[in-house]
């Protein structure tokens, strides 16, 4: 992590611990203390820190104990503000690894995410509508960039190599997916969404740990912010890509809906986030820009493995999208909509 010129000793003295050693890590300081290992984190945006504290405390008030909470200071504050930075202290779980939930635990994870979303919805420190606009704008802008890059590839030479022909053939399905994502996100207007609220851009196995056979919700210190369902989309894509287990996906969503309804409009938002082929686009853009369009005498001729791997993953995601779309249709409750 960046080494800000901040006196950590003064920050640590605000807590009821005696610090023995401080070890910098990528995104936190590991503190060895007389009360066990702790993690001290710096928050550049104080308003995000306050928001993160609020939803964690809301869960705790609802009786949810399996969530990572901020340790209180000597004067019972949940964080420390030094200058223009915020600091939080949490317990460090030695040996805790990212946890990919089983089918049984997937339902529990779904329920916990639903309760997290409920808690976040009661907090209005951040603007969900503005974040949704940014997501919509990003999808539209990237689709336009993909079209421009395709045209640049086509116009590069009169007699394209076989590799370039193959790459060019990928742009049609790629742009179609990107524009479909943009259409679904644009269709999700704030007034039609029952539960539009701020959440995290990413949710992954790193946000879960198994402690004493109970699933613990943790982390969310480095991820950006978006609207709810963006986090669910990222997690379901990760789960399905691991094993192509539709039942595990359904278990998560069943657990979620046991605590919180997912409307048809929410499902469209979920599908919109899932449909955007970010990994495939990143791989194709990088290769075309840095290899095909580079002015070098010798260029790689074989299809790059990174793109092939991304296409394989995209195939799995397409099957997941179909699976979720069928589930979404069942949520329509007799209301007529255009098919997804």
Cβ-contact 197, 228 below 8 angstroms: yes
Q: 53: domain range?
A: 8-91
In a domain, 303, yes or no: yes
Q: Which parts of the chain fold into alpha helices (H)?
A: 8-12, 46-61, 103-121, 128-154, 162-187, 230-243, 246-259, 264-275, 278-287, 305-330
Where does a domain end: 57, 91, 125?
A: 91
The pLDDT score that the predictor gives to residue 189 is 66
The total number of structural domains in the chain stands at 2
The pLDDT score that the predictor gives to residue 336 is 40
Query: Could you tell me if 167 and 314 lie in one domain?
Result: yes
In a domain, 23, yes or no: yes
Query: Could you tell me if 123 and 233 lie in one domain?
Result: yes
Q: Which regions in the chain score pLDDT beneath 50?
A: 1-3, 297-298, 334-340
Query: Could you tell me if 190 and 298 lie in one domain?
Result: yes
Instruction: Supply 323's token pair.
Output: 């699976």
The pLDDT score that the predictor gives to residue 30 is 97
Query: Could you tell me if 152 and 193 lie in one domain?
Result: yes
Cα distances (Å, whole numbers) of residue 34 to 17, 40, 77, 189: 6, 15, 20, 52
In a domain, 299, yes or no: yes
Q: Count Cβ atoms within 10 A of the Cβ of residue 157 and give its class: 0-12 exposed, 13-18 middle, 19 or more buried.
A: exposed
Radius of gyration for the chain, computed over Cα atoms and rounded to the nearest angstrom: 23
Instruction: Report the CATH number at residue 249.
Output: 3.90.1200.10
Cα distances (Å, whole numbers) of residue 291 to 144, 150, 210, 252, 335: 21, 14, 44, 41, 50
In a domain, 337, yes or no: no
Query: Could you tell me if 184 and 66 lie in one domain?
Result: no
In a domain, 339, yes or no: no
Sequence-distant (≥ 6) Cβ neighbours of residue 61 within 8 angstroms = none
């Amino acid at each position: 992590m960046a080494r800000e010129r901040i006196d950590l000793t003064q920050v640590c003295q605000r807590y009821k611990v005696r610090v023995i050693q401080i070890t910098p890590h990528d995104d936190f300081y590991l503190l060895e203390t007389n009360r066990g290992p702790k993690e001290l984190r710096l928050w550049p945006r104080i308003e995000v820190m306050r928001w993160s504290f609020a939803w964690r405390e809301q869960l705790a008030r609802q009786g949810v104990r399996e969530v990572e909470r901020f340790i209180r200071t000597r004067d019972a504050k949940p964080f420390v503000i030094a200058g223009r930075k915020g600091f939080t202290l949490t317990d460090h779980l030695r040996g805790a690894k990212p946890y990919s939930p089983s089918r049984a635990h997937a339902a529990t994870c779904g329920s916990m995410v639903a309760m997290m979303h409920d808690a976040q919805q009661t907090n209005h420190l951040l603007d969900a509508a503005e974040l949704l606009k940014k997501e919509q704008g990003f999808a539209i802008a990237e689709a336009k960039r993909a079209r421009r890059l395709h045209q640049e590839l086509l116009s590069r030479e009169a007699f394209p190599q076989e590799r370039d022909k193959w790459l060019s053939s990928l742009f049609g399905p790629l742009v179609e997916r990107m524009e479909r994502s943009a259409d679904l996100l644009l269709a999700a207007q704030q007034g039609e969404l029952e539960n539009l609220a701020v959440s995290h851009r990413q949710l992954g196995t790193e946000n879960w740990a198994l402690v004493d056979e109970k699933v613990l919700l943790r982390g969310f210190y480095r991820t950006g912010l978006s609207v709810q369902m963006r986090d669910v989309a990222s997690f379901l894509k990760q789960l399905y890509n691991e094993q192509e287990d539709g039942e595990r996906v359904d278990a998560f969503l069943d657990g979620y809906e046991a605590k919180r309804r997912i409307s048809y409009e929410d499902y469209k938002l979920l599908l919109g986030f899932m449909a955007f082929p970010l990994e495939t686009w990143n791989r194709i853009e990088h290769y075309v820009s840095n290899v095909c369009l580079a002015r070098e005498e010798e260029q790689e001729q074989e299809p790059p493995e990174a793109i092939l791997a991304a296409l394989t993953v995209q195939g799995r995601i397409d099957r997941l999208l179909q699976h979720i779309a069928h589930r979404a249709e069942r949520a329509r409750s007799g209301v007529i909509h255009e098919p997804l």
